[in-house]
Structure 1
Amino acid sequence: MGSGSDLTNAQWERLEPLLPVSNGRCGRWRDHRQVVNGLLFRMRTGVQRRDLPERYGPWTTVHERHRRWSADGTWEMLLRRIQAEADAAGEIDWDVSVDSTSVRAHHHAAGARHAPSPPQRGLRPDGQNRSGPGGTDPTGCGGGTGGEALGRSRGGVTTKIHLSADRRCRVLSLVITSGQCADCTQFEPVMDNIRVPRLACGRPRPKPNSISADKGYSNRRTRRYLSRRGIRHVIQEKADQTANRVRLARARGRPPGFDKDRYKKRNTVGRAINKLKAFRAVATRFDKRGHVYLGIVTAAALVIWLRS
């Protein structure tokens, strides 16, 4: 008997051709579906690895395969390929919203050795390695724990997920940092990680039609970055910035454009965050290593794309 977290036959048919065949050592992977469903069960329920039901096989196999796929960029590659299929079918709405969310770290997430996380790698359509759709913050944003994206904020020891989402509440790119990291500092990394490959030929698409974000992203650097790339944007201006602009009207020029109707649709990124946090292993961080937790979040985003 399966569970509510298991992939359906239709979802598995989309995912199976994309999975790696060789384990990179001396043989072939086995029982991909059993292992992936085991990981999804843990993501949905948040149980300890040792408590996985027997139908998913040895818990060590599930953990080891997830750890390796998180380190070598397999989860990122799978997400890219599913995004590419959706884009080729015209199913991506390129009016994108950006936001972030904080995740409380369980005490089991503490204690990792202070060593840098493995680099996040993905696969370009031409077969060359490149950065994947997500990454960790090696600097900790001014106070991380050994590059594992753990830091102290008002919520205690936390990790922050920065992401962009399309109008159908699906993640296009994500970055994880320590919890005290300001949203505006990660806007450009999130935008730079939007790279949806083409199925046939051509470069990946890096540029959305428009961007909407809350006032946490309202600053000159963000607006100049978007203007330089020719991306229309709707970002609410902070009250002190408005007052300062009015006080120095001649020097500051006219106010930035603001479309209220377009801004109301920014709730799509909030709903995308809700979908991610429906997975308990995303809503609470249990993993010590930043790249392993990033793999959990990426796998959750992949499942949301498969189910959309």
Structure 2
Amino acid sequence: MLKINNLVKKYGNFKAVDDLSLHVKKGEIYGFVGPNGAGKTTTMKIVSGLLACTSGEVYIDGIDALKNRRLVKRKIGYMPDFFGVYDDLKVEEYLEFYASIYDIEGKEKDELIKDLLALVNLTDKKDAYVDDLSRGMKQRLCLARCLVHNPELLILDEPASGMDPKSRIEMKNILRTLKDMGKTIIISSHILPELAELCTNIVIIQGGKAIISGTVKEVMDNVYKTKSIKIKVIENADNVINTLKEYVEVSNVKTLVNNIITADFNGNDEVMSSILERLIMKKIKVVDFTTMEGNLEEVFMKVIGGENIEEH
């Protein structure tokens, strides 16, 4: 759905985007991760046709977006991180205004607005003034506005910024619904655990460059070469330790309180299954057998070098 090739955006001698290349497939929820000033918003604005690039290529659904901006804009729904001010405008009037921009009128407009308000859970707020809405409601209304022309690609810049936990959950559920409808979604966020839950793929950007990309699991596996395993048993912790030491894939075995054993593990799922099978064959009463992997926040900090993260 989206291909970015060698994208560059310069401001004088400063490169806000530096030779960035990405490929987002149709139907993905693709996460942009990076510190402030990494180039996420700049890239999103270039893709949306709101900012000219210095060099590079952008293709949306096979169309050269830099040479056919008017054509591709109908395929894009862009949601900025700042909603704006709309004095004396009601929710329904707000959507009617944007529907009129796309020449949607009459019964079609009425049905569209009804469906969009239902999608973003704002049906009971249609007669409320926009400025009286909560931050979360405004964000959902802004998302509804992006959907007025039924775009195939949604570009959402910090859609959950400033939301309370309830509003963030509502936004996540809406985005999952949109994915099920076949939309391709690019989303930037500082709420990294939620990106890990939501996104099919992510890219970590720093200094305008793509540092690492892939599925969340691929990125984590790339950063963390070893996992940790944790085993809790009712008794015979020493027997568990002896069993673990038989595997070359296991190292740094430790015994914690309450018959909990941890160890570093660099094997695959088959080896993991073999360990559990051996423990059961030895009639060791296993209460818990889990892997402990780094979370996306830790991966982010390790990749950008923001702090020293203990290896798992």
TM-score w.r.t. structure 2 length? 0.27
More contact order relative to length (CA 8 Å, sep ≥ 6): 1
* Higher gyration radius (CA): 2
Higher normalized helix content (fraction of residues): 1
Higher normalized strand content (fraction of residues): 2
TM-score w.r.t. structure 1 length? 0.27
